């Protein structure tokens, strides 16, 4: 009834415009660059009707545009083709070709990719930056991995915690995976896949110096799966590249410069997560409240992730507990009780919305400067 009254008062055009403006504002994945690198939002695990997905490849490009992504890959199953009776095709490159045509006009990078679909071990793996998917569609899993290497491709282990293959949900490094890593046939691992996150997969990445990946593995519609209208977002990899190009993205992935973004969590190696947090949160000039020793510190979040902090300083706060949340694309005022007026002070936090290892969160410190003349 309330919606009907609003419709009558505002008119259909006004009501529609306001709703769309809010929706578009919340769904784009926005993160700042870090010193020396551009931050590129990428999803390298995507399916369409050319394997077991439900949509045409052009829909994936349009979704990526709405989500503000820089790069995507159509990663169709080579061996699993459940729509083959309705849509038989022999060319496993076709999904990439269709997506690429539309993406050119929309300035979205589409890198060629496939999913190698095998029992565990080795399980499923995505190969991206390949030359010809058809040549990878071979009987032997090891021959498939070798062909990807021959083509100069980048391979990452998909959903290693998938309970259909790993009943306990714990990603476990097998001797075969260890061999693939040592032989340069496996370069990354999904720490985040769809709706799941794996501490154990992160540990495998850290212990073996392979790349942390976050992907949607989307089969249906992104909007429905991740409840975009309610402020949700698809999981992605934030790739830290020297420029916005496929070549720079591949170089960054091979160098391990990637952070998984999942349900407001930033997950990855310390050397990349810490500068990302420092870039996301901008601490402005502080001022004291009159002659008191309570100082107001503006903290602005320029990302679209909710960032959760836990106080690690000796100070307490005047309007917050030790837990502080800075909403996406917003600014808060943190009132710090410094006991006496000072011209600067350190403010360290444990960033609970960032993960750098099993049960490990980075500590990030800001040096707050105070304007004593105000």
Report the pLDDT value the prediction gives residue 89, as an integer from 0 to 100.
Answer: 85
How far is Cα 187 from Cα 156, in angstroms, rounded to an integer?
6
Q: What is the pLDDT of residue 83?
A: 87
CA distance 315 to 298: 16
Output the DSSP codes for 84-139.
TTTS--S-TTHHHHHHHHHHHHHT-EE--EEEE--PTTT--EEEES-S-GGGG--S
Three-class secondary structure of residue 365 per DSSP: strand
Burial 356-374 (b: 16+ CB within 10 A, else e): bbeeebbebebebebeeee
Q: What pLDDT shows up at residue 288?
A: 97
* Helix H or strand E segment including 5: helix 2-10
Is residue 126 a contact partner of residue 51, using CB atoms and an 8 Å limit?
A: no
Predicted local confidence at residue 365, as pLDDT: 97
Q: What is the pLDDT along the chain (374 residues), one digit of tens a residue?
A: 334 333 333 333 332 223 333 334 468 999 999 999 999 999 999 999 999 999 999 999 999 999 999 999 999 999 988 888 888 888 999 999 999 999 999 999 999 999 999 999 999 999 999 999 999 999 999 999 999 999 999 999 999 999 999 999 999 999 999 999 999 999 999 999 999 999 999 999 999 999 999 999 999 999 999 999 999 999 999 999 999 999 999 999 999 999 999 999 999 999 999 999 999 999 999 999 999 999 999 999 999 999 999 999 999 999 999 999 999 999 999 999 999 999 999 999 999 999 999 999 999 999 999 999 87
**pLDDT at residue 26, as a whole number:** 66
Residue 187 to residue 127: CA distance in whole angstroms:
10
């Amino acid at each position: 009834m309330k919606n009907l009254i609003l419709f009558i008062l505002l008119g259909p055009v006004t009501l529609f415009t306001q709703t769309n403006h809010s929706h578009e504002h919340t769904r784009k994945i926005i993160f700042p660059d870090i010193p020396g690198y551009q931050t590129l939002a990428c999803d390298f695990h995507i399916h369409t009707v050319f394997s077991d997905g439900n949509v045409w490849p052009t829909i994936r490009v349009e979704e990526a545009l709405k989500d503000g992504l820089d790069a995507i890959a159509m990663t169709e199953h080579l061996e699993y083709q459940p729509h083959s009776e309705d849509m038989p095709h022999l060319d496993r490159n076709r999904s990439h070709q269709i997506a690429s045509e539309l993406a050119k006009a929309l300035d979205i990078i589409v890198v060629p990719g496939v999913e190698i679909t095998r029992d565990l071990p080795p399980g499923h793996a995505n190969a991206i930056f390949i030359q010809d998917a058809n040549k990878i569609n071979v009987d032997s899993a090891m021959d498939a991995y070798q062909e990807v290497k021959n083509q100069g491709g980048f391979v990452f282990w998909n959903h290693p915690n998938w309970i259909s293959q790993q009943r306990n949900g714990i990603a476990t490094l097998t001797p075969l995976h260890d061999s693939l890593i040592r032989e340069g046939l496996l370069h990354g691992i999904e720490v985040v896949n769809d709706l799941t996150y794996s501490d154990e997969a992160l540990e495998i990445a850290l212990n073996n110096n392979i790349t942390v990946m976050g992907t949607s593995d989307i089969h249906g519609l992104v909007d429905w799966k991740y409840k975009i209208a309610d402020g949700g977002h698809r999981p992605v990899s934030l790739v830290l590249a020297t420029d916005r190009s496929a070549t720079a993205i591949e170089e960054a992935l091979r160098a391990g410069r990637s952070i998984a973004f999942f349900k407001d969590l930033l997950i990855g190696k310390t050397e990349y997560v810490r500068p990302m947090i420092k870039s996301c949160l901008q601490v402005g000039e502080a001022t004291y409240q009159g002659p008191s020793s309570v100082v107001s510190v503006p903290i602005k979040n320029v990302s679209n992730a909710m960032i959760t902090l836990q106080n690690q300083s000796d100070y307490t706060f005047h309007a917050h507990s030790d837990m502080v949340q800075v909403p996406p694309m917003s600014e808060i005022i943190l009132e710090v009780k410094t006991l006496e007026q000072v011209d600067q002070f350190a403010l360290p936090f444990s960033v609970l919305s960032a993960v750098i290892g099993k049960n490990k969160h980075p500590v990030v410190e800001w040096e707050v400067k105070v304007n004593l003349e105000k």
